[in-house]
A and B are shown apart, each in its own frame.
Chain A
Amino acid sequence: MTELSENVISFENVKFSYSGSDGVYAVNGVNLEVGRGEFLSVIGHNGSGKSTLARLINGLLEADSGKITVFGMDVAEGKNSIEIRKRVGIVFQNPDNQMVASIVEDDVAFGPENLGVPRSEIGERIDWALRAVGMDEFRHSTPTRLSGGQKQRIAVAGVLAIKPEIIILDESTAMLDPKGRREVIEVVQKLNKEEGMTVILITHFMEEALLADRTIVMNRGEIVLSGTPEEIFENGDKLEAYNLCLPKITEIINSLNEAGMNLKNVLRPEELAEEISESFKSKGITSAESSPATFSENLCTGEWDIDIKNLTFTYSKKSPFATKALNGIDLHIAEGEFFGIIGHTGSGKSTLVQHLNALIKLPQAGKKFKKKKEKKGQPKPVLPSITVGRFNLADKKCDFRALRASVGMVFQYPEYQLFAESVFADVAFGFKNFNKQATTEEAEKAVRESIEIVGLDYNEVKDKSPFDLSGGQKRRVAIAGVIVTRPEILILDEPAAGLDPLGKKEIMELLHKLHREWCKTVIIVSHDMDEIAENCTRAAVLAGGGVVSCDSPSALFSERDKLLSLGLDVPLTSKLCDGLERSGITVRCDCTAADFAAKVKEIYGGRADA
């Protein structure tokens, strides 16, 4: 840990409430001290007051009572605000909403320009800031053409150019893919270690929170726990009381300790692998192999199979900006699957799924398509084709409305598409569009059923404005608005993005419930490898517009190097299996945490009996 010489931020009994919140404090009596050069992580459920805390530090919000001092300056005094903002930089969640200019260097220059820094020095600061985040080659690029991680690193550079001493990341990694997240976190760690910058990292990702010197947990505006990450995650039941989940690794440890393995509460997969093999050694187990993983091989063909052949798609064809999004995709998704689609940002995932309900139409089905004359000696070009159940999407006469009623599509952040004055009207929108002749009673029945299945109380929410609901509730309403037509196939793009850990868990439980009771096939697009490993029967990895591999999670995630090189990651369980493999223990599991724990117990228990 860094030597903490002085406090740079201090909160004394700070309270803050938003106007119109009926006296509910978003930050309620917070006392906090942050030392120079410290790396502090802040976790807590959505609405626990984490972001409010960040905005109080640099005076974007003003506390109702209590005292906040930053570098000895009182934040409440207006004359200090610029000096404080010069020394405390914030990087926000959405990279798109922090960019002022259309050229990278102009955007980075914005802060120094505001401060009246001389021109030649601005140039030097841009050089330095872009090099610090590893984006110097993009100096003259347009941010809109960069990936999420790159954009967010530009945002970090824009803050660095002001030369702050404290940098706050307010869920800055929430919207990024694994690679983007790694990139941003590496930059921040480097700044902390090499430049001695004080870092406050607000995050929903437990594995990011672990990197800090100290972690604080917020619940309903209060700091309820504070300590090293190890100390925090030791008391799991408390975390659950604060609407947080245990990290997956702690769950595995707890499960193994129930079988008497007596493992230490570690937080990193390499350490746990070490712990497990130590525990095995103490029982005299140095090499072992678990029973093979069992798979529910139910890839029978059904009525609602999806078949994609040679799918190719180019955006902005015939313009200087033409980009090939999909390049010869072949994919078969059987009825009844819980299918995952993985790939980094821009790998073509969204383009692919939008073909499945003809939001993007195949060329033959479009109006402009002209048959090219066949040339002698050249093979006939294979035209892309998609069939979804009885629908042939390449057919011009295909009933696209009926198709869309059977293939439900939930977009990323679906709550941003809510529009109606009441929850009822919003959910009924889709139903009425597809069932023009339906009676009011039928509509009411359908809406009631879908609001209830997503876990909301129909009578309580139906007349409310969707905009008055909480984030998690909004997302449920948005999902209800799609499943109201009772689709056979449900496609969700990043269904859990931006939610806190508990919200994520609940949404995935909801999807399994829908899969059991309403929809035959569920397809999710996700960045979260653990989510795929825990939930999917099979998954496809997309890269560069093509399918790189398509298999069960355990087969998929055995190719660790390949996935890493594609900007992806592997789930925790495969990291653990890898670690154990190195000490001679082979665990074959289907990549879920439960199965991993069962297999380890089997090895442990098996020898114990012998």
Chain B
Amino acid sequence: MLNDVTFGQYYPAKSFMHKSDPRIKLLALIAYIVALFLAKNFYGLAACALVLIFAVIFSRVPLGSVLRSVKAIIFLLVFTAVLNLFFHGGEHLLVHWGIIKIYREGIIFTVFFVLRLFFLVMGSALLTLTTTPVELTDGIESLLTPLKWVRFPVHELALIMSIALRFIPTLIDETNRIIAAQKARGADFESGNIFKRIKAIVPVLIPLLISAFRRAEELGDAMDARCYSATKNRTKYKKLRFGWRDLIIFLTFASLITGVVLFNIYAAEIFPQIYEYIKLS
């Protein structure tokens, strides 16, 4: 049932991407997304694709694993693609079949739109594939540090996130055990209509909640006993450090954004005939 959940879909490997600083990877992802949305033509998109391809190569994650992450949104992708295809107006009518009209501009826009979403999901997946949840939390905490100035509880937030991550496998185990135990008592989770199924979950949910509360209480005691909130000047054992890898990533993504902006401005002058054919509106 929940056996095959490998949380956060982290892919263990030792690669350039795995070893770089989680903060720079987060910032790079943001830069990459900005670039994707800044791009107004296929040249910009191609630049993003090029960077993505290199990132995948240097992550040593099999392409299959990266592509699998797109599976989750495939429905959304097809749905919006079809809508765009049928309802996007334009000048060059290609197909006219009943009320369905497909224009050349519609096809081009749909391809552009689908590719953009596709690259977006692949890029985000690459972050979670190469960064452990723990590193990610550390990275987020570090990036949010400036918010401490406005008394935002950055450390508490990070601690909540890391405890949540720490307990996910434990609670998944627990859920599996309770499901098995109730199944052994004849509980049926797989048949019946939606209401019956919701009702069938009660014998799993209640013990799970009770156990989560019990665990929370014990964890609270254990944290207190280990001097939690003893001092305001808490130290942090692990410090993130920028390295040469991070500089390379920084330069790559800075030039990606610059490139995309330049393409936006000068695209019409590169291969004007081709551009005329593939331009969006």
Interface residues of A in 382-420 (CB under 8 A from B): 401, 404-405, 408-409, 411-412, 414, 416-420
Residue A55 interfacial (CB < 8 Å): yes
Whether B6 pairs with A119 at a CB distance below 8 angstroms is no
Q: Would you call B165 and A102 a contact (CB within 8 A)?
A: yes
What is the CB-to-nearest-CB distance from A151 to chain B, in angstroms, rounded to a whole number?
11
Tell which of A60, A316, A419 touches B3, judged by Cβ atoms closer than 8 Å.
Answer: A316
Min CB gap B63→A, angstroms: 16
Whether B222 contacts A118 by the Cβ 8 Å rule is no
Q: Given contacts A359-B180, A419-B207, are A433 and B222 in contact (CB under 8 A)?
A: no
Of A58, A93, A102, A155, most buried by chain B (CB within 10 Å of CB) is A102
C-alpha gap A316/B177 in the complex (Å): 16
Max chain B Cβ within 10 angstroms of own Cβ: one of A100, A117, A319, A412:
A100
Q: How far is the CA of A131 from the CA of B28 in the complex (A)?
A: 39
Assign chain A's interface to a size class.
35 or more
Write the nearest CB–CB distance from A197 to chain B, whole angstroms.
16
Check if A144 sits within 8 Å of B170, measured CB to CB: yes
- Picked from A85, A98, A404, the residue with its CB within 8 Å of the CB of B184 is A404
Q: Is the CB of B221 within 8 A of A55?
A: yes
For B43, what are the chain A residues with a Cβ–Cβ distance below 8 Å?
Answer: none
Quote the shortest CB–CB distance from A66 to chain B (angstroms). Answer: 21
User: Are B6 and A418 in contact, with the CB atoms below 8 A?
Assistant: no
Contact A97 to B227, CB < 8 A, known contacts A106-B134, A417-B182, A433-B185: no
* A106–B237 CB distance below 8 A: yes
Q: Assess the A100–B180 pair: CB atoms within 8 A.
A: no
Q: Closest CB-CB distance, A87 to chain B, in whole Å?
A: 10
Given A101-B134, A115-B227, A417-B207, A411-B180 contact (CB < 8 Å): yes
Per a CB cutoff under 8 Å, which of B180, B203, B222 touches A92?
Answer: B222
Interface size class of B (residues with CB under 8 A): 35 or more
Q: Does B11 contact A (CB under 8 A)?
A: yes
Q: Is the interface of B mostly helix, strand, loop or mixed?
A: helix
Compute how far the CA of A4 lies from the CA of B219 in the bound complex, rounded to whole angstroms: 34
Tell me the bound Cα distance from A98 to B224 in angstroms. Answer: 11
* A417-B215 in contact (CB<8A): no
Question: Which residue in B132, B185, B206 is a CB contact (below 8 Å) of A481?
Answer: B185
A102 touches B133 (CB 8 A): yes
Report which of A60, A103, A414, A467 forms a contact with B221, defined as CB distance below 8 A: A60
B169 at the interface (CB under 8 A from A): yes
* Interchain CB contact under 8 A, B184 and A359: yes
In the complex, A413→B11 CA distance in Å? 34
Q: Is the CB of B218 within 8 A of A482?
A: no
Q: A101-B162, A144-B169, A429-B203 are in contact. Are A114 and B229 (CB under 8 A)?
A: yes
Does B199 sit within 8 A of A, measured CB to CB?
no
Which residues on the B side are within 8 Å of A404 (C-beta)?
A: 183-184, 186
CA distance A102 to B164 in the complex (A): 10
Q: Which residue of B lies closest to A434 (CB)?
A: B186
Selected from A98, A111, A354, A481, the residue in CB contact (under 8 A) with B180 is A354
Does B181 count as interface, using CB distance less than 8 angstroms? yes
Report yes or no: A122 in contact with B202, Cβ–Cβ below 8 A: no
Q: Which of B162, B186, B202, B224 has the most CB of A within 10 A?
A: B186
Chain A: minimal CB distance from B103 (Å): 44
Task: Provide the B207-248 mask, 1 if CB < 8 A to any CB of A, else 0.
Answer: 100110011001101111111111101111111000000000
The reply to whether the CB of B178 lies closer than 8 angstroms to some CB of chain A is yes
Per the bound structure, the CA–CA distance linking A374 and B132 in Å amounts to 41
| Contact (Cβ within 8 A) A417 B237 | no
B237-A315 in contact (CB<8A)? no
Residues of B within 8 A of A82 (CB): 227, 230-231
Is B166 part of the binding interface, using a Cβ–Cβ cutoff of 8 Å? Answer: yes
- Residues in B with CB closer than 8 Å to A430 are 185-186
Given contacts A114-B230, A117-B235, 20 further A-B contacts (CB under 8 A): A58-B225, A82-B227, A85-B230, A86-B227, A89-B225, A89-B226, A102-B133, A114-B229, A114-B231, A116-B231, A119-B236, A144-B169, A162-B227, A319-B4, A359-B180, A408-B184, A414-B181, A417-B203, A433-B186, A485-B186
| A–B complex contacts, Cβ < 8 Å, 15 sampled | A82-B227, A82-B230, A89-B225, A90-B225, A92-B225, A94-B218, A97-B219, A100-B219, A101-B162, A103-B134, A111-B226, A111-B227, A113-B237, A114-B231, A116-B230
Chain A: residues with CB nearer than 8 A to chain B?
55, 58, 60, 82, 85-86, 89-90, 92-94, 96-103, 105-106, 109-119, 122-123, 126, 144, 155, 158-159, 162, 315-316, 319-321, 354, 357, 359, 401, 404-405, 408-409, 411-412, 414, 416-420, 429-430, 433-434, 467, 481-482, 485
